[in-house]
Every structure is written in C-alpha cells, then in structure tokens.
Amino acid sequence: MTYGKFSLDYSREFAAPALLGQFWGIMQREFLLFQVIESHHAAQLDQFLSELEAAGARTATIRINSPGGSWNAGQLMQSRMMMSKVKLTTINEGLVGSAATLPFAAGNVRQCQPHAKFMMHQVANDLGPAVNEEALNRALAAHKSLNRSTAEMYAAVSTKSADEWVEMMRKETWLSAEEAKAIGYCTEVLPAKAGLVAPEATMAVGALHGYYMSIISQSTEMKLDEVKNALRLAGVTLPDNATEAEALAAIGKLKNQTVEAVAATLKPTPEESDELKELRKELEQLKAGQASEQTRRIEETVNSAVSAGKITAAQKDTYKALLGADFTNTAKVLSEMPGRQSVAARTGAAAANGTGETRNDWDFAKWGKEDPKGLRDMRQNEPEKYQNLVNSYIG
C-alpha cells in the first residue's frame, strides 16, 4: 500500500509483532469521500475507523468532495464519526453539498480549501407513485421533523440558530469558504495554493463536482515526524535530524526483518524427518491452493457486482482489497447492494416494452421516484419547468 512518499508492500500476516500492526494502522490515516454518497461508503468508513481504533491511532482525516447522495448513508457516517475515539479532521476539498454536509459537520476540526463551496437544502423525499391526503400529511410531518433535526445539527456546529438554518435550507443556501468560517461551520480556511482558480459561480452541481475532482490531489501524505513515531512504536528509533531517505530505509529494513523472520519458521531443520518434510511440503501446497481459490472467489464476486450494476469498473480494485481483508462481510455488503440501472436505460426499456413512456411524460412523483437528482437539477437549472410540475401535482 502506498501512502504519499511512504510505501508498505508487505502483507499484514507478516506483521507478527503487535507493534507492526499498530504501525500499519497509524499510516493509513486518510479516508477519501469523492463520490455521490451511497450505503457502501458508510460501511467503508466504519471499517476504516475500526482499524484505526484497534491500532490505537489518535488522529485521522476525512477528505470530502461530494455533491451529496443518500441522506441515510450520510447520517450513518456522521453518527459513526461522532462515536469514534479518533480525533477527526474533515476537509472540504471542493464541494460539500446536501448529504455530504453531515459527515463534514462531524469533524472535531473542520477545514476548507479557500476556493471550496458548501450547499445546504431541504431533505429530498420520495412520496411514491400514489398517495392520498392522509399519507401526504404523514409524509409532510416526517419531512418537517427531518429538516428540523438537520437544522439543529447545523446549529450545533455554527453560530446560526436552528430556525435560521431551517430558512436557509428552504432557500437552498450556498456558502463560500469564508462565509462558512464566519458562522463557525468551518473552523479553518486553508492557505491558497498557487495556480488554482475558483470555478464559475453559475456552474451546475455535477460540473462543479467534476471541476474540483480535476484539481484535487488524491495522494495521502504523512509528515516525517509521524513516520518516526510509527517506527518508534515498532522498536526502531531514528535520530531527531533523520531525513526522509533514512526513514524509508528504516521501513525497508523493518519489512525485510519481518519477512526473514517468517521465512525462517518455514525452513526445514536438518533434524527433520523425511515424513515431516513431506508434510511441510503438502502444507505449503495447500496454502497456495487456498490463496488461488481465494483470488478466484474475489474476482468472481467483484465481476458479478460490476455486471449487476452494483459497483463500477473503477471501484473493482477497492472492493478486491476489501474482500481480501474481510471476504465474508464485504461479500454480504455487495449482495445487499441494489443493482443500478441508468434512468436513460430504464426509460428506453419502457419504450421497448411498448409503454411509450418518456421522461417528458413523468409527473412530479415519478421524477421523485425515478430520478430525484434530475429533479433537483431541474429545480436549479429549469425553474419554470420544475414549478409547472409542482403546480400540476398539487392541483
């Protein structure tokens, strides 16, 4: 695994001493949330924090550039972060919008790039294809309650009151880095970086997210002092003036010592009988067969998830690593993920089946069910069309 300039390429099974496990845990200290939030992100964050907590790590960073997504997943992430003993720093790397504001707010320290933006609005709700007056009243009451609890969460980490946040959410509020800092929602605006240009004010949410992704550095770097402390936990003490090259050399030496120690336990001694040697050989062959079978199962599981539309091809390596670390639980998460089909594909399938329905035929409820993100984009980019849908729906 590579973290900035520092690399660890040995398996955790080689890290027999407990301190080496701590060393690995301390190095993996950043979580990147750079996509639309979905349920599997909450599961990944839980695993990330659990490993850091088990390793005794004291700090970690959550870097965010997300337009939002599943409100339930965002709430799960926020709750897990607030329960963690690890001191968390959240960083707005570009866009923290909608549901992404929930995990951002859970940071003990909340930082923001100077060119970044925040967006808060009311919680979206899917009322379903057919609702009566009573169901509408219940849904409205639940919706108000959810918006109120979200406003109270914002109020807890800012100087604004819950009532003020309710109104800000109703209007869909965009905040610059300095505006967020002025009300305490962001605790620190990071120094500007040369060459970075703020995006156009009129840029749509999707394009804004993509713009920020193009300028974000996704490498994970460690400070030299933290590497020295991690090595000290593993029994290797470097002088105070040690350079990065010396730290890298110490990591390589530690890795080689660990591998050699494990290899020594596998070498047959001269006193071993031929029968014991044969048994050892059979054991190694069995291990190799098991490793091959595990690789096959991981490939099969990941390819199946891609084919079913549960994950994208770009996420394959991430899920291979998760399956290698914990096959049972990761496979369970994948099996419970719904298969995804694009809105265009669903509409095309409807036309192929003879229904003749297109997105131009959808009413407000249909939009809310089939493409809530498209509905939000319509509200921002085609307000007249959006208002016509609302007026038709409420009569």
Q: What is the predicted pLDDT for the residue at 125? A: 61
Give the range among 212-216, 260-264, 346-350 with minimum mean pLDDT: 346-350
Q: What is the predicted pLDDT for the residue at 92? A: 94
Specify the DSSP element, H or E, that contains 97. Answer: strand 87-97
Torsion angles phi and psi, residue 94, rounded to 5: -175, -70
Q: Which two tokens stand for residue 40?
A: 């599997």
Q: b/e per residue, 67-104, with b = 16+ CB within 10 A? A: bbbbbebbbbbbebbeebebebbbbbbbbbbbbbbbbb
Q: What is the predicted pLDDT for the residue at 251? A: 73
pLDDT in tens, 267-281: 555 565 676 777 777
Write the DSSP symbol of residue 37. B
Q: What is the predicted pLDDT for the residue at 160? A: 94
Alpha carbon distance 77, 44 (integer Å): 10
Alpha carbon distance 313, 323 (integer Å): 15
Q: What is the predicted pLDDT for the residue at 24? A: 45
Is the per-residue pLDDT at 218 higher than 90? no
Q: Which two tokens stand for residue 207?
A: 């394009």
Classify burial at 120, counting beta carbons within 10 Å of its beta carbon; exposed 0-12, middle 13-18, buried 19 or more.
buried
pLDDT in tens, 75-101: 899 999 999 999 999 999 989 999 999
| CATH 3.90.226.10 domain position(s) in the chain | 2-224
Alpha carbon distance 102, 290 (integer Å): 42
Q: pLDDT grade, residue 222 (50/70/90)?
A: low
pLDDT in tens, 296-337: 888 888 888 888 877 877 777 777 877 777 777 777 777 777
Alpha carbon distance 305, 316 (integer Å): 9
Alpha carbon distance 389, 371 (integer Å): 14
The alpha carbons of the chain give a radius of gyration, in whole angstroms, of 26
For 12, 24, 257, 395, the CA distances from 236, given in Å and listed in that order, are: 18, 14, 12, 73
Domain 2-224 has CATH 3.90.226.10: yes
Torsion angles phi and psi, residue 198, rounded to 5: -65, 145
pLDDT in tens, 149-207: 888 999 999 999 999 999 999 999 999 999 999 999 999 999 887 666 666 656 666 66
Q: What is the predicted pLDDT for the residue at 359? A: 76
Taking alpha carbons only, the member of 59, 68, 151 closest to residue 109 is: 59
Alpha carbon distance 306, 316 (integer Å): 8
Taking alpha carbons only, the member of 5, 31, 67 closest to residue 205 is: 67
pLDDT in tens, 14-50: 333 444 444 444 455 889 999 899 989 999 999 999 9
For 51, 107, 258, the CA distances from 47, given in Å and listed in that order, are: 6, 17, 26
**Can you list the alpha helix ranges (DSSP code H) found in 234-326?**
244-266, 274-307, 316-325
Q: What is the predicted pLDDT for the residue at 7? A: 32
